[in-house]
Amino acid sequence: MSQLTQSVCQPENTQQAITQNQSKPAPPCTLVIFGGAGDLTKRLLIPSIYNLQAAGLLPENFAIIGVARADKNDEQFRADLSEEIKAFATTQVEETIWKQLINKVYYLRGNFDEAPTYEALKLRLDEIEKIHNTGKSRLYYLATGAEYFPKIAELLGQTDMVKQEEGVWRRVIVEKPFGTDLQSAEALNRSLLSVLEENQIYRIDHYLGKETVQNILVFRFANGLFEPLWNNKYVDSVQITVVESVGVENRGNYYDKSGALRDMVPNHLFQLLTMTAMEPPTSFQPDAVRSEKAKVLQAIHPLTDEQVRTQTVRGQYSSGVIKGKEIPDYRNSPKVNPQSETETFVAMKLFVDNWRWAGVPFYLRTGKCLPKKRSEIVITFKKAPFSLFRGEDVGSLEPNNLILHIQPEEGISLQFGAKIPGPKVMLSGVEMDFNYHDYFGQSSSTGYETLIYDCMIGDATLFQRADNTELGWKVVDPMLKLWQSEKADFPNYVAGSNGPAAADELLARDGRAWRQIK
């Protein structure tokens, strides 16, 4: 496809608008991180909190307590984070800003499932809140294994540390996975809601912190150009792709129990699907948005066993080469069962059975060890009638594609047909691109900044409600159950390829093809 480069001239008021698009600092509070010595904290949470500090979005009266089993004290914890931030920060660390933050950081050694930890935490919180004048509002971040979520909530409740009152809020951030199937998701919600109100629970999906994901709603509902076309009259199909070039690496212990379906589909992919397919909410209030997303999931009817066999594909990678690096078989990866039946690739065809989308297939795929890392949504519009060009050697008329690029590059591109210069009428596919980096400058975020800030100010728009999580599992559950009962023919795709041949056949049967990953 030839390239038509869109010359993006930054309007004079764009930089001014960026400068003005600054929120007020969050209200005073204390952040408690369960799993404070873990990978998530050092790689993403602390860099995100540093970025919030640098942007002036953290309150002056603020403190952090990390809770973990590691044998550390405040000074050791601060020293470790000061070293780790150099490796994981998304921007140059300014010593003055870092010093302002790290002096508000504390550590408590303890086990997540033992009551004495919470008694000690309660005393420590009282002490730190007085030192930093943070008030009594608290944000508890569960950066632990999912098996600890119910117990942490229970012990916080038993020690009266999640009780709210006038002017004092207590909120809990829960990391995915939100269960491993429908039954466990329902059990997790029951245990959390036995201690907390729904408005205290923030089920976080870092994908929703990405600018392009949030821009889906703006793109659809703030532009009169595309929303009138956003329906089955004009849209032929939708492809949602979230793939990685890396393998399981050192996460075999977790991944071999989870697999691609559990790990990615009920959260990341379904979040992208619901934002693409939802109806316009009555407002951008959290429950208005989340209710429309729930309606999309309700409209996806769970597949029968026969439909699972014909409308879904699972795969597991064998050895190959990606970017010059030898990749071993998934089954030969560390901490993976040598006879593992765990899928590392999933593709499926789903239908949103409502008035807007009736008959439009939504193709989803996710996997590891594909040629490159890519997350995108492709809206393919129906082809134009050919009769106008009868008798002209124009070649085939290709459909128009609108592509929402989520990562690694963030932006939007539109593919359409244009006449090739010359006396004959001949067409060529061309492309117009909007790139966030070119227009708004380099983003230096982890994706967590917006989400953590929203938790602090009490905006739950980008977080999943209990019903949303359960509706997602209702769609996935029939696949899990059938796959557990039927043996897979693994491995069935080479590392560095575009996935199993059956995934290509899934679309080929409908006369369509995946957008190539290259």
User: 229: burial class by Cβ within 10 Å (0-12, 13-18, 19+)?
Assistant: middle
Q: Which two tokens stand for residue 6?
A: 């869109």
Residue 43 burial (CB count, 10 A): 14
β-partners of residue 68 are: 109
Spatial separation of the C-alpha atoms in residues 414 and 514, rounded to whole Å: 17
Which is nearest to 47 in space by CA: 87, 75, 100, 104? Answer: 87
352, 277 contact by CB (below 8 A): yes
Spatial separation of the C-alpha atoms in residues 223 and 404, rounded to whole Å: 15
In this structure, the dihedral spanned by the alpha carbons of residues 110, 114, 119 and 120, taken in order and rounded to 10 degrees, is -10
DSSP 69-89: SS---HHHHHHHHHHHHHHH-
Spatial separation of the C-alpha atoms in residues 260 and 368, rounded to whole Å: 8
Handedness of CA 302, 307, 312, 316 (dihedral sign): positive
Extended strands (E) in 439-518 = 493-494
User: 217: burial class by Cβ within 10 Å (0-12, 13-18, 19+)?
Assistant: middle
Residues with catalytic function: 268
Q: Is the bond preceding 177 in cis, omega lying within 30 degrees of 0?
A: yes
Q: Which two tokens stand for residue 431?
A: 């492309």
368, 242 contact by CB (below 8 A): no
Spatial separation of the C-alpha atoms in residues 275 and 468, rounded to whole Å: 13
